[in-house]
């Protein structure tokens, strides 16, 4: 499969190793804004975000059908995004218990880490004891509380007032409220609300693909880092089982409508106003000013939705039909969560050669 042959593996130290495919120099160079997505005829959204210095990159046609990619999400108002997440904060139905009770929060956490166990590996909660953590898009605070429980001092931010309210309540329920400072703020204008100070870790899980201009959020995040600060970012992965399911299931193969379809069906509640997806090779461009240390994909949701909404875990027939190692292989190659760990470079440091090299892959 072509998509696998060209996959890049990022390792500690920023080195980029191509897995199996031909050496970078022999591969055809794709033009900015017209990289292939792995799905026929669809240009990547991520080629347009995160241009150097936050400058948007040009819009270009898809590689095969030459269809202009519409400017779908960067014109969406931030109020629409806030309204969507206020109407149903992320994971709020992870427990049927009373919202705000200890049992409720315990069940939310148990379900989240049962369904998304890779979060524990990614966040490395114990590592941040005694450190300063800035969490962008904390939602109802599952990871926030775990950073605090492990001894980190946390500043947690979300656009959704309702989410922050619940997360704040959660910190009180678990007695860590003195360790966490909450703010309702837009990541794209963070410095208007959150005092600019350096953090050891900036953590953002499943957030920046929902903001209309992720490159602006990254430029803001950069201000909260110093040379050596860590950035841990999870964004949605375009070359994924989930995108394929949306495209073939809901979309009946309408590749030209992919952006809209993915946004519509990416979350538990339909109609998310903004959902970008990324290829690994688009990430270095998004993360200007950072050196990528590690990048991997994981997570295919394996359960039947009707049972899942009733807190029962029944695997879909396609997942049941395949041996566990095959499913795991699929998760590691076509998972929905693209997890990136990067290190902030000194503001006046050398250009990010890792990023330049990675774009060739
Ligand atoms: C999918 S949820 C993830 C929440 C949390 N990180 C978690 O893993 O449970 C996305 C969150 O991003 C927040 N969000 C979206 N755009 C944002 C922005 N521009 N600034 C801050 N938060 C934002 C939403 O309000 C929502 O709570």
Could you tell me which residue, 29 or 227, shows the higher pLDDT?
227
d(CA 252, CA 39): 14
Kindly report which listed range (18-22, 119-123, 180-184, 316-320) carries the lowest average pLDDT score: 18-22
Q: How distant is the alpha carbon of residue 110 from its chain centre? A: 21
Could you tell me which residue, 318 or 59, shows the higher pLDDT?
318
How many Å is the maximal CA-CA distance in the chain? 59
Kindly report which listed range (50-64, 260-274, 276-290, 307-321) carries the lowest average pLDDT score: 50-64
Q: Give the per-residue pLDDT at 313.
A: 96
How many Å lie between the centroid of ligand 1 and the Cα of residue 243?
A: 20
Its CATH architecture, for the domain 2-299+335-359, is 3-Layer(aba) Sandwich (3.40)
d(CA 210, CA 212): 7
What percentage of the chain carries pLDDT values higher than 70?
A: 76
Tell me which residues have their CB closer than 6 angstroms to ligand 1: 81, 85, 90-91, 136-139, 142-143, 157-160, 163, 186-188, 205-207, 210-211
- Looking at residues 42-47, what average pLDDT do you find? 36
Q: Give the per-residue pLDDT at 346.
A: 86
Does residue 251 surpass a pLDDT of 50?
yes
Give strand pairing partners of 343.
230, 291
pTM, full prediction: 0.81
Q: Which ligand 1 atom is nearest residue 217's CA? A: 19
Tens-place pLDDT, residues 263-292: 999 998 999 999 999 999 999 999 989 999
- By most ligand atoms within 8 Å of CB, the mutation choice from 161, 190, 210 for ligand 1 is 210
d(CA 102, CA 289): 40
Does residue 360 surpass a pLDDT of 90?
no
Q: Domain residues of the chain, as ranges? A: 2-299+335-359
Mean confidence (pLDDT) of the chain: 82
Q: Give the per-residue pLDDT at 212.
A: 96
- Cβ-based neighbours of 102, under 8 Å, separated by 6 or more: 173, 174
Does residue 29 surpass a pLDDT of 80?
no
DSSP state of 272: -
Q: How confident is the model at residue 72 (pLDDT cuts 50, 70, 90)?
A: confident
- Looking at residues 9-22, what average pLDDT do you find? 33
Does residue 18 surpass a pLDDT of 50?
no
Q: Give the per-residue pLDDT at 71.
A: 52
Does residue 304 surpass a pLDDT of 80?
yes
Q: DSSP of 119-134, one letter per residue? A: HHHHH-GGGGTTSEEE
- By most ligand atoms within 8 Å of CB, the mutation choice from 89, 108, 159 for ligand 1 is 159
């Amino acid at each position: 499969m072509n998509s696998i042959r060209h996959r890049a593996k990022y390792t500690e130290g920023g080195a980029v190793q191509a897995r199996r495919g031909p050496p970078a120099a022999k591969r055809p160079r794709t033009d900015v804004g017209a990289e292939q997505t792995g799905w026929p005829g669809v240009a990547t959204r991520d080629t347009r975000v995160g241009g150097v210095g936050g400058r948007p990159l040009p819009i270009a046609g898809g590689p095969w059908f030459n269809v202009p990619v519409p400017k779908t999400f960067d014109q969406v108002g931030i109020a629409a995004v806030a309204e969507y997440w206020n109407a149903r904060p992320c994971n709020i139905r992870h427990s049927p218990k009373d919202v705000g009770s200890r049992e409720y929060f315990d069940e939310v956490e148990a379900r989240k880490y049962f369904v998304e166990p890779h979060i524990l590996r990614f966040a490395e909660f114990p590592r941040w004891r005694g450190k300063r953590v800035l969490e962008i898009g904390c939602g109802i605070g599952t990871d926030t509380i775990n950073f605090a429980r492990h001894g980190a001092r946390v500043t947690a931010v979300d656009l959704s007032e309702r989410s922050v309210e619940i997360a704040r309540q959660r910190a009180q329920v678990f007695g860590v409220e003195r360790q966490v400072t909450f703010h309702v703020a837009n990541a794209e204008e963070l410095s208007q609300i959150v005092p600019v100070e350096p953090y050891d870790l900036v953590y953002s899980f499943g957030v920046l693909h929902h903001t209309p201009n992720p490159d602006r959020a990254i430029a803001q995040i950069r201000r909260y880092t110093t040379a050596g600060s860590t950035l841990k970012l999870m964004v949605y992965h375009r070359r994924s089982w989930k995108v394929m399911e949306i495209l073939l299931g809901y979309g009946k193969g309408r590749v030209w409508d992919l952006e809209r379809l993915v946004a519509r069906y990416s979350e538990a509640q339909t109609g998310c106003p903004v959902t970008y997806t990324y290829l690994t090779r688009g990430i270095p461009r998004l993360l200007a000013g950072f050196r990528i240390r590690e990048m991997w994909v994981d997570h295919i949701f394996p359960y039947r939705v009707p049972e899942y909404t009733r807190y029962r875990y029944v695997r879909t027939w396609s997942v049941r039909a395949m041996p566990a190692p095959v499913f795991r292989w699929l998760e590691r190659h076509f998972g929905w969560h693209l997890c990136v760990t990067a290190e902030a470079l000194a503001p006046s440091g050398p250009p990010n050669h890792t990023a330049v090299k990675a774009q060739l892959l």
